[in-house]
Structure 1
């Protein structure tokens, strides 16, 4: 069913439906989230910005948090892991990118959403997959390149091993209560923990 035309008469307005209406809502929601943050994000504001009514939003998303997560996913852009030519260079640069992102305005929105999602497993998975921070795929890509170069053995290609550097960085955010860590902490994570762990994962002698 198409949405009612906005305005008292709907003159000059084209009735949107389906994908066109959903795109308009997500675009408005992303703009609202970027402008107001999660604390100021409401279904009323998004509906007004999209030129539609709240029913059109609730038919697609059950609440404002679900819509905010969808809007964030629209805002976020996929970033390819670096390829510096060395495992150390790749891991350090990927950590630095994550560190910069978490300290950015968009990173602040992500932190708000993660906190608000709480125990909502599905929403948390959507956010973590989109942010790429603890998702295993890019880390396995980095580690796979290292294996191909002979810097690591195939036994190191395990998701828990691959992502341990980011897990440690995330722990720094929690412990320090700040969205960014000093660069020397990143270097320490790479040199004192990550590289020794990866290089220690080799086939035991028979």
Structure 2
């Protein structure tokens, strides 16, 4: 008796199956051991089908990560103090980085160093992140409370919390602790904001 053929998937269903397979492979074997062939086998498709949609392994992994992002933007924290809001914000970023897995981050960063097109894709994904709006909302609330004079938050300054947490995640290879988050806020980001406000 022959096995019944599976219905052929197309469009979003096929893409979702591929990205789910990527995520499962990342958890099982890690970024460095992940192969397009293994992803294709797990997803029940072929390598050419995958390469028609994504040009590289890093691009495929970034797409799988994007699919795992929260479907809605969380409200900016409002704890009653700028420091408290920043602690909450940095903690959110750290937990998301932890879910992304440090090896995956390091792997994609390594690909970005070697391939300019991957670096461009990574920059595009980071620019599209809602972090900048959240940082500006936190600073605006602090200004309304009288904790800071009005200050302009440039796109680069808005990305500093992510840069700091990502550096800790890659360098330490482990979950960023509450103590480290407090140090990043107290010793780096709060002084940066106060310096900008004073300027």
Classify the TM-score, shorter chain. 0.7 to 0.9
Compute the RMSD of aligned alpha carbons. 3.2
Q: Could you list the per-position Cα deviations for residues 39-89 of structure 1 after superposition, in whole angstroms to 9, with x for gaps in the alignment? A: 121111111011111111111111222111111222333663432222110
Which position in structure 1 is the counterpart of 2:172? 178
Shift of 1:167: 4.3
Structure 2 residue 19 is the aligned partner of structure 1 residue 26: yes
Report the structure, 1 or 2, having the larger helix content.
2
State how many pairs are aligned: 192
Larger RCO: 1 or 2 (CA < 8 Å, sep 6+): 2
Larger radius of gyration: 1
Runs of at least 5 residues in structure 1 that lack an aligned partner in the other structure: 1-8
Runs of at least 5 residues in structure 2 that lack an aligned partner in the other structure: none
Q: Matched residue of 1:191: which SS? A: helix
- Normalising to structure 2: TM-score of the pair? 0.75
C-alpha change, 1:130 and 1:106, in structure 2 (3 Å) is farther
CA contact (8 A) 2:143 2:150 kept: yes
- With 118-127 and 97-106 compared, the bigger mean Cα shift is at 97-106
Which position in structure 1 is the counterpart of 2:52? 59
Question: What is the rounded CA distance, in whole Å, between the counterparts of 1:76 and 1:110 in structure 2?
Answer: 15
Which position in structure 2 is the counterpart of 1:5? none
Shift of 1:98: 3.2
CA contact (8 A) 1:156 1:198 kept: no
C-alpha change, 1:160 and 1:50, in structure 2 (3 Å) is closer
